[in-house]
Chains A and B, each alone.
Chain A
Amino acid sequence: MNPIFKSHEKDFMRIEAEQVCVDYNGTVALYDASLNLKAGSICGLVGMNGAGKSTFFKALMGFVRPSRGKISINGMKVHQAQKEQSVAYVPQNEGIDYSFPVSVWDVVMMGRYGSMNIFRIPRESDRRAVVHALERVDLLDLRERPIGSLSGGQRKRAFLARAIAQRASVLLLDEPFSGVDVPTEKLMAELFLQFRQEGHTILISTHDLNHVRDFCDFVVLINKTVLAYGETSEVFTSENLNKTFGGIPPNPLSAPASSKDFVNE
């Protein structure tokens, strides 16, 4: 159903969502949402607040049960994929209690729990995974610090490190760039490109169109359903964006000049 993939080799899909519908007590939040993502790609999920972005994420993570449709990750049911540590989720973290008595190290180690035995006693390989993840987000020096003593950007990086430590092939990131400082933003953008190189599949929800332009191979425009989906250069048109944002361009990107710049890039 998606022309882009027809030209590619028939790799198995990392994320497959087929006609997913979600409703909350009769109110439809999402309908007929379909998505196919292969290995080594970055996809931006773009839409207004309330357009169903986080509902789609919740459905992909099994937090809400779709009333219709099918979702699979790496060819497995969502719950199975989670148990196999195939998918890592980086939430927005509004609900996190930052005075909780855990260190940065402890938080990142939580990414390894699913791979440990029932007592959750870290093995050498778990420690190595945590060190590696902390190095990648440049937090190794702060590993002993309580999570609450970090800055906003550092916190974001710590939770990203937790997902890295999980060693999942599929990464779902909910608004990873909201409220981060410039160095963190740069570091994360570079990391995402490295992840793609390593064959990860990344789905990022965002309302910042610049990020989509910068490094998303594919983009899904969403407003209660998938309005457009495909390679960024093809889908990211002013017309589609107007449709997505109800005629109100969210930032100068959709103004003719800059959007042209972007499409030509």
Chain B
Amino acid sequence: MSEFLISITPMNWLLDPLTHDFMRRALMVSALVGGVCGLLSCYMTLKGWALMGDAVSHAVMPGVVVAYALGLPFSLGAFVFGVGSVALIGFVKQKSRIKEDTVIGLVFTGFFALGLVLVSKIKSNIDLMQILFGSPLGISRADVNQTLIISFIVISILLVFRKDLMLYCFDAKHARSIGINTGILHYLLLTLLSLSAVVGLQTVGIILVVAMLITPGATAYLLTDRFDQMTLLAVASSAFSSILGVYISYWSDIETGGSIVLVQTLIFLIAFLFAPRYGILKNQIYINNN
């Protein structure tokens, strides 16, 4: 890769991919999806819903397959199964003595397995690899439109309810005590999670969507003590990782989803080591000086 890089200038490295229609589309969609998932990831990490994010993103699998088979927009099927899995988790938890994390694990693996079985049984031109690992470079115009619409919905709802959802994550009891309907907020957040998982699997696929839903939030959480700053940092780092991931994937011909998530993980590692207040090296210096 290095000798390859020497032969092109940084300018070319940035501009060449933009001459391709598919790359412009991939970069636009990836940045948007990164931003949306980055925004939501703040709420997921603060509420402690990482496992829930994993569950919902896996549980959409059969929905995607069924939607493809029926010729419906895949996001519709994914959304129905995402919300369905959440409802089922709530139901099983309420009606049995099983602990929540067990129920979550049970339900999402069941849904995911159903998806795998359906893929092998329903004869269609579904590309399993595309569902599992995403393919932003091969995204169709119809899929771009779906992504735009869903992203718009998620961003609008998060902008309107960001304070209420933040309060719900911080202190649901207080929210209730001032007359806010926390039941609605709970399901609103779960709905947003399902929608974000749907757009996220466009770029990184079902398996890695959960990274989009937690890593940017976790990185930002290490960098600031302010909620608003945290959301901005998460969105910025997530969109940046997505764009850089797509570029790297283009130039070095590596799998795009993996590339995006790996960049995110690297940014997290940098924050983990060097964050001004919460990085581990900061603590090290502090200990050595005392």
Tell me which of A82, A100, A103, A106 contacts B178 (CB under 8 A): A82
- Report if A259 contacts B (CB, 8 A): no
| Size category, A interface | 20 to 34
User: In the bound complex, what is the Cα–Cα distance between A55 and B182 (angstroms)?
Assistant: 20
- Report if A63 contacts B (CB, 8 A): yes
Q: Which one of A31-39, A110-118, A134-142, A229-237 contacts B?
A: A110-118
Question: Contact between A83 and B225 (Cβ–Cβ < 8 Å)?
Answer: no
- With A101-B226, A113-B167, A119-B160 in contact, do A79 and B179 touch (Cβ < 8 Å)? yes
A residues near B (Cβ < 8 Å) are 61-63, 79, 82-85, 87-89, 91, 95-97, 100-103, 106, 110-111, 113-114, 118-120, 146, 148, 162, 166
Question: Contact between A101 and B227 (Cβ–Cβ < 8 Å)?
Answer: yes
User: In the bound complex, what is the Cα–Cα distance between A146 and B226 (angstroms)?
Assistant: 8
7 contacts across the A-B interface (CB closer than 8 A): A63-B176, A89-B173, A91-B173, A95-B171, A101-B227, A120-B164, A166-B178
Which of B169, B173, B179, B229 has most A Cβ within 10 Å? B179
Chain B interface SS verdict (over half)? helix
Question: Contact between B176 and A120 (Cβ–Cβ < 8 Å)?
Answer: no
Interface string of B164-187 (1 = CB under 8 A from A): 101101110111111110000000
How near does chain A come to B28, taking the closest CB pair, in angstroms? 28
* Set of chain B residues within 8 Å of A83, measured between Cβ atoms: 179
User: In the bound complex, what is the Cα–Cα distance between A120 and B159 (angstroms)?
Assistant: 11
* Set of chain B residues within 8 Å of A97, measured between Cβ atoms: 46, 170
Tell me which of B164, B170, B173 contacts A102 (CB under 8 A): B170
Which of B176, B178, B227, B229 has most A Cβ within 10 Å? B178
User: In the bound complex, what is the Cα–Cα distance between A169 and B229 (angstroms)?
Assistant: 35
- With A101-B226, A101-B227 in contact, do A85 and B173 touch (Cβ < 8 Å)? no
Tell me which of B164, B171, B177, B230 contacts A101 (CB under 8 A): B230
How near does chain B come to A54, taking the closest CB pair, in angstroms? 12
Tell me which of A61, A82, A96 contacts B171 (CB under 8 A): A96
User: In the bound complex, what is the Cα–Cα distance between A72 and B175 (angstroms)?
Assistant: 20
Question: Contact between A85 and B227 (Cβ–Cβ < 8 Å)?
Answer: no
